[in-house]
Amino acid sequence: MDTRSKEPRNAGGRTRAVVTAGVRGLALSVVALAGSITLFVLSVVSIALVPLGVGIVTTSWVLTGVRAFANWRRLVAAQWCGVRIPPGYRSLPEGANPWARTFGMLGDPATWRDLGWLLVDMTAGFVTALLPAALLVYPVEGFALAAGLWRAFTDGSRVGWWYGFVPVSGQGSALLAGLLGAVLLAAAYALTPPLLRVHFLLTRSVLSADRGELAERVRVLTETRRDAVDTSAAELRRIERDLHDGAQARLVAMGMDLGTVEALLDKDPAKARRLLAQARRNSAEALGELRDLVRGIHPPVLAERGLGDAVRALALRLPVATEVTVELDGRADAPVESAAYFAISEVLTNAVKHSGAERIWVDLHQVAQDGGLLRITVTDNGRGGARIGAGSGLAGVERRLGTFDGVLAVSSPVGGPTMVTMEIPCA
């Protein structure tokens, strides 16, 4: 009985996966053709205008759009088929002018890989994305011919229609077309999800670095190490500043008040009591600031309860209604949890400050692949327009995640909504 009850569920799940892969392939084929052609033409025109000066201003914006399009494809490749495509872009200096940004991007081999990928995406990528959908839809024509629709395409005396390799001229050949349609439908049931994966494997083969894997890994590690060192130094300066300007100043003031109380204890007890009350308030405020400082270094709830409860506690302190969904199997390594927590905190802070959102949704779940992947999605219904750029909070989040080989992707059309997706390997 258990076996019989599981089979329909498995068949239903497989059918949903096949149909989903076909629909996704159709959507990808449309996006691949329209998006790739548009971005490639804009890129070529903008780069051609660089000698005239106009391209120096426009090229960085166009190439940023190309990178956003490629990063979106990397994101759906990981979400839909588990194909991870590392970005490998060289970082640009903070606050770089248009000249430095344009020539920095043009000097990055990843930029030319992106442009080559646009050519592949509008041709072979379009075909490989459309194939899963075509394999699902084409059998319908064979069934329609077998049901009698062949009469609309032939007068019965000659071949009026070809279905695949079957010439349809009568009911008998129409039934053969229906049989071929059934074979194609069975093939679609088995091959549609793998065919969609082939599309993303093709994307990875073009977007991945063309140099040796070890050399590329060394370059990425060098950049992320530099970013990690800079981040650590900035964090130490922040802690020192907060201690000096906050708790330390209050403790010094409290010590001075206690010294004055000691001198006034016999001469003016009333004033001594007021100073004692003030010293007690300074003590409480210094303790609160120290707790906030410790929470900023590593929240106790994160160490004690894990990432899910820490994010829920963070959401409760926000002035915007925030819904948190957590589906985690166990806990990741402490550094990964810490990086994820502060990345979420930064994204939520940006949403509260700049989006004008009335509601925020946070989703945390694990993907069982490549040793485990922590995927975080933060969505708000604000005005949109967020982007990853020099000086933005999201650029800092991207650097923080890069230390752990993490990926950040942003979808934020003008008018909203904004969706920020982060992926971090659990180990």
Report the CATH number at residue 397: 3.30.565.10
- Domain boundary (250, 276, 297) is at 297
63: nearest Cα among 51, 75, 45, 78: 45
Q: What is the pTM of this model?
A: 0.54
333 and 195 inside one domain: no
Distance from the first to the final alpha carbon of the chain? 40
117 and 164 inside one domain: yes
CATH classification of the domain holding 228: 1.20.5
198 and 225 inside one domain: no
88 and 203 inside one domain: yes
195 and 225 inside one domain: no
- Domain boundary (182, 210, 238) is at 210
Helix-helix angle 213-242:269-297, to 10 degrees: 170
- Domain boundary (297, 318, 345) is at 297
Residue-number span of the structural domain to which 252 is assigned: 213-297
Say which residue the tokens 């991007």 belong to.
Answer: 105
Q: What's the structural domain count of the chain? A: 3
Residue 21: partners with Cβ closer than 8 Å, 6 or more residues away? 132, 192, 193, 195, 196
362 and 269 inside one domain: no
CA distance 88 to 405: 10
- pLDDT by position in tens, the chain (length 427): 333 334 334 666 778 888 888 899 999 999 889 999 999 999 999 999 998 888 898 999 999 999 999 999 998 888 888 888 887 787 777 677 888 889 989 988 889 999 999 999 999 999 999 999 888 877 877 777 777 776 766 655 555 677 777 777 777 777 787 788 888 888 888 888 898 999 999 999 898 865 555 565 666 666 666 665 565 666 666 666 666 666 667 677 777 777 777 677 667 777 777 777 777 777 777 776 666 655 555 667 777 888 888 889 888 888 889 899 988 877 877 778 888 888 888 888 888 888 888 899 999 888 765 557 888 899 998 888 877 765 566 777 877 777 777 788 888 888 878 888 888 887 6
203 and 104 inside one domain: yes
396 and 267 inside one domain: no
Main-chain dihedrals φ then ψ at residue 327, nearest 5 degrees? -135, 80
